[in-house]
């Protein structure tokens, strides 16, 4: 599916996670939207017509699903069976990485059940998403989660964020973070979270030779 005629800077996905985890000003975000399951209902209730609606819609009542169908053309809805080998958020991301976009922001994918949270945060490791990992961000009212592929990379501090974290997703080799508040050099790293680091300036440099690195920028409190 690719209904974007030209490359856009950002595409947004709204999943069906807890509303209290949404960042402020969510529905003013630029770019087209994909609604994943209940996320589609939330978008349409706010008067936003997504470019695509996907999911099994098992979280919607029959009245809510009727509302979704009444507000969007059937051709723009991909309904899948409840028993399937992938999540609704994963399905939305599969479509998103096929579109000509520079950045994919995923909202409504954190909070609530921890199995859903962990499933979502590990999605960029999936073979069909891995090449696009650096385009994907998970965002809520307290955190922005992004991903790095091997090489020499730069992480820029996001406005309002205080804490910086790194997690190896699988085997990450020759990790070097020389200019964070707490520098780190480690040859072989299996899944582990290095949390509560901080920026010294506006940039932190990161290099590693294999694997995928998850990067978190966080702040205390809520909105």
pLDDT computed for residue 2 by the predictor:
46
Pairing between strand 101-107 and 8-14?
Answer: parallel
Hey, where are the domains in the chain? 1-140, 142-223
pLDDT computed for residue 69 by the predictor:
85
Q: Rounded to the nearest 5°, which phi and psi values hold at 93?
A: -65, -35
Domain 1-140 and domain 142-223 have a common topology: yes
Superfamily of domain 1-140 in CATH is: Thiamin pyrophosphokinase, catalytic domain (3.40.50.10240)
Q: Rounded to the nearest 5°, which phi and psi values hold at 142?
A: -125, -15
For the chain, residues with pLDDT lower than 50 are 1-3, 5, 222-223
Superfamily of domain 142-223 in CATH is: Thiamin pyrophosphokinase, catalytic domain (3.40.50.10240)
Helix axis angle, 62-71 to 38-45, nearest 10°: 60
Helix axis angle, 114-121 to 88-96, nearest 10°: 20
pLDDT computed for residue 70 by the predictor:
86
pLDDT computed for residue 7 by the predictor:
62
pLDDT computed for residue 78 by the predictor:
82
């Amino acid at each position: 599916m690719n209904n974007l005629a030209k490359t856009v800077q950002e595409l947004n996905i709204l999943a069906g996670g807890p509303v209290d985890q949404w960042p402020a000003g969510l529905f003013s975000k630029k770019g087209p939207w994909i609604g994943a399951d209940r996320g589609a209902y939330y978008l349409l209730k706010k008067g936003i017509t997504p470019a695509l609606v996907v999911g099994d819609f098992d979280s919607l009542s029959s009245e809510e699903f009727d509302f979704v169908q009444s507000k969007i053309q059937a051709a723009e809805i991909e309904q899948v069976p409840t028993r399937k080998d992938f999540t609704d958020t994963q399905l939305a991301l599969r479509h998103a990485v096929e579109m000509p976009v520079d950045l994919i922001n995923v909202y409504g994918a954190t909070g609530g059940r921890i199995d859903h949270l962990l499933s979502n945060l590990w999605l960029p490791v999936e073979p069909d998403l891995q090449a696009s990992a650096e385009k994907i961000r998970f965002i809520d009212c307290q955190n922005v989660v992004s991903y790095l592929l091997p090489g020499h990379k730069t992480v820029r501090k996001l406005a309002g964020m205080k804490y910086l974290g790194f997690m190896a997703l699988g085997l990450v080799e020759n990790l070097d973070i020389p200019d964070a508040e707490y520098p780190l050099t480690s040859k072989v790293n299996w899944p582990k979270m290095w949390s509560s680091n901080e920026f010294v300036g506006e940039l932190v440099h990161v290099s590693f030779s294999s694997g995928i690195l998850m990067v978190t920028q966080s702040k205390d409190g809520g909105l």
